Structure formats: C-alpha cells, structure tokens
A and B are shown apart, each in its own frame.
Chain A
Amino acid sequence: MFKKEYVFYGSHADKVQALVSKFSNFSGSTLFRRNVDVLLFAPIVGFLFGKMSEVDKSKNRSTKIFIEQMIREDLRIRFNYQIITLLDKKNIIDDDKRIDSTFRNIEQEEAESELRRYNEYILGGVDILWEKLIEPAKLEQDYLNNLYDFLDAINDRYNETLTNDSVMDLYTLARR
C-alpha cells in the first residue's frame, strides 16, 4: 500500500524542505535527515496533536520520497498507519471498523479513504512540526530549543508516567 513514490505538495513541500534543511552551517544540522524521516514522524505528531491537513496542490512545488526509500521504510510506515488507525477513535468510531481498517484492509487497494485519512495526519504532522520547530525559529540555536521544547512538551503530556516496564507489561498482556 505504501510501496510507491510519495510526493509532498505545495506548502507541505516547502515545510518538509525546511524540516530537512540545515539550520546551521555544519553537516548534521538538520532536524530531520531525510524527507522519509519526516514522513515517519509526521503522522505520529499529527495524530498526537490531532491535526489533519489536506493536500495543498495550489502551488506547483513538490518534494518527493523515492520508491526505494519507501520500500526500505515500509514496515515502519505501515506500523505508523496501524497504530494511528487503531487509536483513531475520533475518525473511526466503530471499534470493529477500526480494527478492520487497522489490520484487515491494509493490503487492499480500495482503502483509499483510510489512506487519505492517514495522509491527512501526515500532512497535519508536517504542519505541526513546521509550526513548532521551524516557524518560530529566528536564530540557529532556536531550532534545537524548539525541538527540545517540543519533545519536552510531549514528554510531559504523554510519557511522564510511562516506563518501559509498564509498557512491557502491557505488551505481555497483549500477547496471549
């Protein structure tokens, strides 16, 4: 389902480019290494912040992810889809439906709406990332600060109480 070239369009293309651009003049001074990394982070971010954005084809700008990379990261891309879909109570109210969307329909080409939904999370995540990391940055060190603040906020909100152990317990539980 995901093993094809992915293209960011319009403003999202700009934002993605910004996210992978060097904010300083040393190598390694990019927040995200590759477009595909953005693709991996974006849906999680978009889902955590509940942001969904439509494709912006208004401008004729685009930036893509080559199929080789898509194939390489397919597992994770798929995982992201699954986890988001599984938990997306807002958009798929019905549990069974959700489970189906998560696990069953994944191979089917007809799951266009699911893909669209997922894509909107991706784009939403791009927007969030850009909004949080890039936009407010004025100086070099702001990028890293923004990233820290971003992570810190997430940590506060979601991960505070989580420990590896507690998650592992759940894991054990989840596995018959």
Chain B
Amino acid sequence: MQEKRSIEIDQKVVNRLMKKIILLEKRNIKTKELGYGQIVKKIKTIIEEEVECY
C-alpha cells in the first residue's frame, strides 16, 4: 500500500515549466531536431531540474 502523500505543487514552478516546455516544443516544431523520445527525455530533465532547484 502506497502512502498517499500530499505533494505540494508550487504553481510558480509549474508556470515556469509550462513556458519552458512550450518554448521547447515550439522550437522543435520548427527544427524537428528531436524525436519523441528525445523530447520526452528533455522535458523530464527540465522538470526534474526545476523541481530539484531551490
């Protein structure tokens, strides 16, 4: 049984992330540089970095 942990979500972080991700997506739409897997990886990195940052 997984504990249901309440995770506090910082909305500011969410907003920052949203922007970053959309920017990334926009760029990639143009450049088509990154494939699906790569983008997912990049997004995850962005999220994880942002979350881990103070």
Chains A and B touch (C-beta atoms under 8 A apart): no
A contact residues vs B (CB 8 Å cutoff)? none
Query: Which residue numbers of B lie inside 8 Å of A, CB to CB?
Result: none
